[in-house]
């Protein structure tokens, strides 16, 4: 697998010269401004299909060649994009099968983007042809250092071709209709299928109540999208096997199983648009960091921050400007967590259409004398001093298990609450561990657990085959496992485990769950720990029976007051904890402080003020102030390579301050 090997930390953005072909003066000026901004990496051609193939079969690549030559002459590298994210109107008109069909069976009209059928042989053929032409013409151009496939793959198509492909996929997965009927419990409501042709994707005007079908469909969508992506990458892999291939992924995206999807990519890249400037800076920063940790873990490689905005977006409900310093801070946060590039959507604001007010390095004013431009320059200045981190992976010995297929199952789950709050729960555990300074991978059920000391796996509702066994082995060999309510309920087809929950994790956790109470929003129960500390909890309360587990805390209210709520089961060399409810932040903070100490996790800079993040990478310790105010923190002795100043002792961190400390005297 080719790696992303840049001789520098990448800095640049989506560049759309295709929109400015009648303005050679602007195309020239772009290069001057890029050099002035300290940019060295542009993503070119992402939505350029109608400029590249204005009429069927007629390629116009001359302008793109000129752009690549010009960038190369200026020492700027390129991720060359394939254009499949949006197609020309002539194609939809002549070949309507490329248009996506909605779940209600209605075919879309031509419009928008990201709206093609992933199965259509016609679309695949068009994409294959233009990608081959692009790679043959430009694959060996000295500016090109990698491939940017399409854009933000996502969505689904319910056309007849996709239904056929779905049935074929189901046949391959289940073998026989009997097996499928059994796995989906179709005896319920008389749903038994008697012919493969009766199978159809879930639809609001059809079937939504077979959870096994819903899960299968979402798995199929990942499979089919990845299959499309493989097809579009085939000519590229053939002609330029040495160049790494990526596509840009989205924030906490649940439409695709990214671990599965990314098996075909060489490195992950990410589009990051946090709501900076909101009321809770710590939470915003945590959500961003969570995504970065996920991206780094997907391939266990540094990732590209493929998109971010240098100022504001145009699609949040309220699009705030990044306050002074926030652009540098937010960019270096990605680098601290594993990014080898800082890139933007977009280089230059378009003059018209949907994104004309989306932030860009170059505004409509067209020159460099803007605050945003200076903030971008500050990032190039910093990246030049951070080369130590390039290619480096942070040392990580703890993992948070966030499994997309589990998320699908939980989202579909009917009872005991409509919203099970999986994502929020995962983020709450993430916050507690990060507050303690623990570096985390964000893994899923298919990842190797053995490389960690601690695996936190809240709400692991759906256990795919072998997962419980691997978690048990992990604990027996000395690992620490943390589970919480709604664990071990269903198998990979969404069938409940018989013999009660937590199903195949019963022995590992040393308990069984008799029933689960749901609390109204705003309603709470309490937890009292053996040492007397007490906390609140909410949403869900399992009533549990410890078998080999010891009780660490009990409920304080309702008819199950006094019953166990927090347990620990020593097993082999390790231990498995169970938190039978959704506890408050104070509980998780205290709980993980103890756990991290016992699991021997080294925490850089524990005890930083809440909202100040720390992350070590490539021998540098990044300290980042997301609190929105100046705070005092105790820093290790060393040198902040950004400011070129010695550090040590009590220090004031300015608003949006960021340091990269090389420890030492």
Active site positions, annotated: 152, 307
Under rule CB under 5 A, residue 627 binds Zn ion? no
CB of 142 to ligand GLA, least distance (A): 26
Partner whose footprint covers residue 119, from Zn ion, ligand GLA, none (CB < 5 to 8 Å by kind): Zn ion
Binding region for ligand GLA (CB under 6 A): 151-152, 248, 271, 273, 307, 313, 345, 355, 358
Q: Which does 435 bind (CB under 5 to 8 A by kind): Zn ion, ligand GLA, none?
A: none
To ligand GLA, the closest distance from the beta carbon of 256 in angstroms equals: 15
Nearer to Zn ion, 117 or 329 (CB): 117
For ligand GLA, give the closer residue by CB, 222 or 248: 248
Picking from 431, 436, 439, 433, the residue whose alpha carbon sits closest to that of residue 392 is 439
- 92 vs 151, which CB is nearer to ligand GLA? 151
Please list, in sequence order, all residues whose beta carbon lies within 8 angstroms of the beta carbon of residue 314, skipping any fewer than 6 positions away.
Answer: 355, 357, 358, 359
CB of 66 to ligand GLA, least distance (A): 23
Give the whole-angstrom CA distance, residue 603 versus residue 596.
9
By C-beta, is 162 or 401 nearer to Zn ion? Answer: 162
Among all chains, which residue has been given the structure tokens 């056929």?
164
Task: Copy the structure tokens of residue 499.
Answer: 């013999």
For residue 307, the minimal CB distance to ligand GLA (Å) is: 5
Cis peptide before 581 (omega within 30 of 0): no
Residue 162's binding partner out of Zn ion, ligand GLA, none, with CB under 5 to 8 Å set by partner kind: Zn ion
380 binds, among Zn ion, ligand GLA, none (CB under 5 to 8 A by kind): none
Q: In the sheet that 10-15 helps form, which strands lie side by side, from edge to edge? A: 245-246, 144-148, 77-81, 41-44, 10-15, 339-344, 303-307, 269-271, 248-249
Among residues 117, 285, 475, 539, which is the contact residue for Zn ion, using CB under 5 A? 117
**Residue 157 binds which one of ligand GLA, Zn ion, none, with CB within 5 to 8 A depending on kind?**
Zn ion
Q: Which ranges in 142-184 belong to alpha helices (H)? A: 160-174, 177-184
Q: How far is CA 376 from the centre of its chain?
A: 24
Q: Where are the beta strands (DSSP E) in 258-348?
A: 269-271, 303-307, 339-344
| Shorter beta-carbon distance to ligand GLA: residue 358 or 568 | 358
Q: How far is residue 150's CA from residue 124's CA, in Å, rounded to a whole number?
A: 13
What are 596's two structure tokens?
């991290």
Q: How far apart are CA 372 and CA 626, in angstroms?
A: 19
By C-beta, is 109 or 354 nearer to Zn ion?
A: 109
Coil, strand, or helix at residue 524?
Answer: coil
Closer CB to Zn ion, residue 19 or residue 163?
163
Residue range at the interface with Zn ion (CB under 5 A); choices 14-22, 54-62, 115-123, 644-652: 115-123
- Beta partners for residue 401, in sequence order: 443
Integer-rounded Cα radius of gyration of the chain: 26
Query: What is the spatial distance between Cα 17 and Cα 54, in angstroms, rounded to a whole number?
Result: 15
Query: What does 180-216 look like in DSSP terms, one character per residue?
Result: HHHHHTTTGGG---SSGGG-----TTS----HHHHHH
d(CA 304, CA 287): 17
Stretch that binds Zn ion, among 114-122, 350-358, 405-413, 496-504 (CB under 5 A): 114-122
Residue nearest to ligand GLA (CB): 271
E strand or H helix at 134, and its extent? helix 121-138
Nearer to ligand GLA by Cβ, of 81 and 447: the residue is 81
What does 151 interact with, of ligand GLA, Zn ion, none (CB < 5 to 8 A by kind)? Answer: ligand GLA
Size, binding site for Zn ion by CB under 5 A: 6
Residue 8 CA: distances (Å) to CA of 34, 39, 328, 376 = 16, 11, 17, 16
The site partner of 117 among Zn ion, ligand GLA, none (C-beta below 5 to 8 Å per kind) is: Zn ion
Find the binder of Zn ion among 119, 214, 240, 308 (CB under 5 A). Answer: 119
Residue 258 C-beta: closest distance to ligand GLA, Å: 15
Please choose which of Zn ion, ligand GLA, none residue 156 contacts, taking the beta carbon within 5 to 8 angstroms, the exact cut-off set by kind: none
DSSP 20: G
User: CB-based contacts of 351: which residues, under 8 Å, 6+ apart?
Assistant: 19, 364
- 271 contacts which partner out of ligand GLA, Zn ion, none, CB within 5 to 8 A by kind? ligand GLA
Taking CB under 5 A as the criterion, which residues in 146-165 touch Zn ion? 157, 159, 161-162
Sorted by sequence, the CB contacts under 8 Å of residue 367 that are 6+ apart come out as none
State how far the Cα of 272 lies from the Cα of 343, in Å rounded to an integer.
10
Nearer to Zn ion, 161 or 399 (CB): 161
Residues at the site binding Zn ion, with contacts judged by CB under 5 A: 117, 119, 157, 159, 161-162
């Amino acid at each position: 697998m080719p790696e992303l090997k840049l001789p520098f930390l990448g800095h640049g953005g989506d560049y759309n010269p295709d929109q400015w072909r009648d303005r050679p003066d602007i195309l020239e000026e772009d290069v001057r401004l890029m050099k002035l901004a300290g940019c060295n990496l542009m993503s070119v051609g992402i939505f350029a299909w109608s400029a590249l193939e204005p009429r069927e079969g007629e390629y116009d690549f001359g302008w793109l060649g000129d752009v690549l030559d010009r960038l190369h002459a200026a020492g700027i590298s390129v991720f060359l994009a394939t254009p499949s994210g949006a197609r020309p109107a002539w194609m939809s008109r002549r070949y309507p099968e490329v248009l996506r069909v909605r779940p209600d069976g209605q075919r879309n009209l031509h419009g928008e983007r990201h709206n093609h059928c992933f199965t259509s042989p016609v679309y695949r053929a068009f994409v294959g042809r233009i990608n081959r032409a692009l790679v043959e013409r430009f694959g060996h151009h000295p500016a090109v250092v990698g491939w940017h496939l399409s854009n933000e793959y996502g969505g689904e198509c319910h056309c007849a071709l996709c239904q056929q492909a779905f049935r074929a996929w189901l046949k391959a997965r289940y073998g026989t209709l009997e097996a499928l009927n059994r796995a989906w419990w179709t005896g319920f409501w008389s749903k038994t299928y008697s012919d493969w042709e009766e199978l159809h994707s879930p639809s609001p005007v059809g079937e939504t109540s077979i959870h096994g079908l819903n899960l299968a469909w979402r798995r199929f969508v990942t499979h089919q999208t990845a299959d499309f992506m493989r097809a579009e990458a085939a000519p590229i892999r053939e002609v330029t096997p040495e160049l790494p291939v990526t596509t840009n992924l989205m924030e906490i995206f649940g439409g695709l199983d990214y671990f599965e999807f990314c098996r075909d990519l060489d490195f992950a890249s990410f589009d990051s648009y946090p709501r900076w400037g909101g009321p809770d800076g710590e939470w915003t920063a945590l959500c961003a960091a969570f995504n970065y940790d996920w991206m780094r873990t997907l391939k266990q490689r540094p990732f590209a921050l493929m998109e971010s905005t240098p100022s504001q977006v145009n699609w949040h409900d309220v699009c705030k400007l990044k306050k002074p310093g926030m652009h540098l801070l937010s960019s270096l946060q990605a680098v601290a967590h594993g990014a080898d590039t800082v890139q933007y959507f977009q280089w230059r604001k378009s003059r018209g259409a949907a994104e004309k007010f989306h932030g860009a390095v170059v505004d409509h004013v067209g020159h460099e004398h803007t605050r945003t431009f200076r903030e971008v320059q500050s990032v190039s200045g910093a990246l030049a001093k951070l080369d130590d981190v390039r290619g480096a992976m942070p040392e990580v010995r703890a993992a948070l298990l966030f499994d997309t297929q589990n998320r699908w199952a939980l989202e579909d789950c009917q009872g005991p609450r409509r919203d099970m709050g999986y994502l929020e729960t995962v983020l709450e555990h993430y916050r507690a561990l990060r507050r303690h300074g623990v570096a985390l991978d964000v893994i899923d059920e298919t990842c190797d657990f053995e490389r960690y000391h601690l695996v936190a796996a809240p709400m692991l509702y759906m256990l795919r085959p072998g997962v419980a066994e691997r978690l048990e082995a992990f604990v027996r060999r000395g690992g620490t496992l943390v589970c919480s309510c709604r664990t071990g309920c269903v198998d990979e087809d969404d069938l409940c485990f018989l013999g009660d929950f937590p199903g195949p994790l019963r022995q590992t956790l040393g308990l069984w769950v008799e029933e689960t109470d749901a609390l109204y929003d705003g309603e709470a129960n309490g937890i009292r720990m053996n040492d007397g500390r007490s906390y609140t909890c909410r949403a869900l309360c399992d009533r549990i029976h410890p078998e080999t587990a010891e009780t660490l805390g009990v409920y304080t209210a309702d008819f199950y007051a006094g019953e166990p709520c927090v347990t620990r089961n020593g097993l082999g060399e390790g231990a498995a904890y169970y938190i039978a409810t959704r506890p408050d932040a104070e509980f998780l903070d205290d709980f993980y402080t103890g756990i991290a100490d016992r699991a021997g996790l080294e925490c850089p800079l524990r005890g930083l003020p809440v909202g100040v993040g720390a992350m070590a990478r490539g021998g540098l310790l990044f300290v980042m102030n997301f609190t929105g105010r100046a705070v005092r923190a105790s820093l290790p002795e060393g040198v902040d390579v950004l400011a070129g100043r010695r550090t040590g002792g009590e220090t004031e961190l300015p608003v949006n301050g960021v340091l990269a400390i090389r420890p030492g005297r």
